[in-house]
């Protein structure tokens, strides 16, 4: 059993490392980063281990001097350790980038939410105020029309007409703002967001 494992172990390991190398390259290509260090370093590390397994198989098969085989395997192991360290550093940088992007997207989402609320307030201000004048005028005329003198009725109707004209010309763009709307900004300012 041990002899079988000792005989076929390097072959199985080499095949597994080659499959893992191919898998890393395929996944990297799928995510559009086939040529980035995030894909190439792990693939190189796995391919190097496959080469070590291949070297052990070749050494045994071709009866190469054992010391030479072990020396080459040791050099390849050292190169593998360097590649592994570079991969870990690259993964740490990738994790930092993801965290920074998440913070930025959270800030952008909050900024868009604030802009949406401000835009809704702007539109309520621009539409609800004239409608309130028209509504109040109609209710006043309906409830007390017979008791209102002609001058007051004419003034009330003029106010309602002016409010309706304001409604016809209402600006649905979030700017320019009137002085009453100065605290409301219905435009998202994501360019101004700074993420450390």
Query: pLDDT tens across 135-176, in order?
Result: 999 999 999 888 999 999 999 999 999 999 888 887 777 666
Q: Could you identify the residue written with the tokens 């590390």? A: 45
Q: Could you identify the residue written with the tokens 């360097």? A: 82
- 130 and 80 both lie in a single domain: no
Is 65 in contact with 114 (CB distance < 8 Å)?
no
- 80 and 137 both lie in a single domain: no
Range(s) of the domain holding residue 123? 113-192
- 138 and 74 both lie in a single domain: no
- 41 and 134 both lie in a single domain: no
- 43 and 95 both lie in a single domain: yes
pTM of the model: 0.46
Collapsed DSSP state (helix, strand, coil) of residue 194: coil
DSSP code of residue 178 = P
Q: How many CB atoms lie within 10 A of CB 122?
A: 21
> By percentage, how much of the chain surpasses pLDDT 90?
14
- 97 and 22 both lie in a single domain: yes
Of 16 and 142, the one with more pLDDT = 142
Of 113 and 174, the one with more pLDDT = 113
Q: Which of 6-15, 62-71, 146-155 tops mean pLDDT?
A: 146-155
Alpha-helical regions (H) of the chain: 2-30, 37-61, 66-144, 150-168
- 75 and 119 both lie in a single domain: no
Judge whether residue 9 has pLDDT over 70: no
Residue positions counted in the chain: 196
DSSP code of residue 177 = P
Q: How many domains does the chain have?
A: 2
For residue 195, give Cα distances in angstroms to 104, 105, 191.
6, 10, 11
Using 50, 70 and 90 to split pLDDT, how confident is the model at 188? confident
d(CA 105, CA 26): 29
d(CA 7, CA 9): 6
Last residue of a domain, one of 105, 126, 144: 105
Is 174 in contact with 107 (CB distance < 8 Å)?
no
Last residue of a domain, one of 74, 105, 136: 105
Last residue of a domain, one of 66, 87, 105: 105
């Amino acid at each position: 059993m041990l002899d079988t494992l000792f005989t076929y172990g390097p072959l199985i390991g080499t095949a597994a490392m080659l499959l893992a190398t191919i898998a890393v390259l395929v996944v990297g290509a799928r995510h559009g980063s086939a040529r980035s260090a995030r894909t190439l370093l792990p693939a190189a590390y796995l391919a190097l281990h496959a080469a070590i397994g291949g070297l052990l198989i070749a050494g045994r098969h071709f009866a190469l001097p054992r010391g030479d085989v072990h020396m080459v395997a040791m050099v390849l192991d050292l190169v593998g350790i360097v590649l592994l360290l570079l991969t870990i550093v690259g993964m740490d940088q990738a994790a930092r980038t993801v965290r920074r992007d998440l913070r930025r997207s959270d800030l952008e989402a909050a900024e868009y939410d604030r802009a949406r609320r401000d835009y809704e307030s702007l539109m309520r201000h621009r539409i609800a105020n004239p409608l309130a004048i028209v509504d109040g005028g109609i209710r006043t005329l309906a409830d007390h029309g017979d008791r209102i003198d002609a001058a007051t009725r004419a003034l009330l109707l003029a106010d309602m007409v002016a409010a309706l004209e304001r409604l016809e010309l209402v600006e649905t763009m979030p700017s320019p703002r009137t002085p009453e709307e100065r605290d409301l900004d219905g435009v998202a300012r994501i360019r101004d967001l700074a993420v450390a």
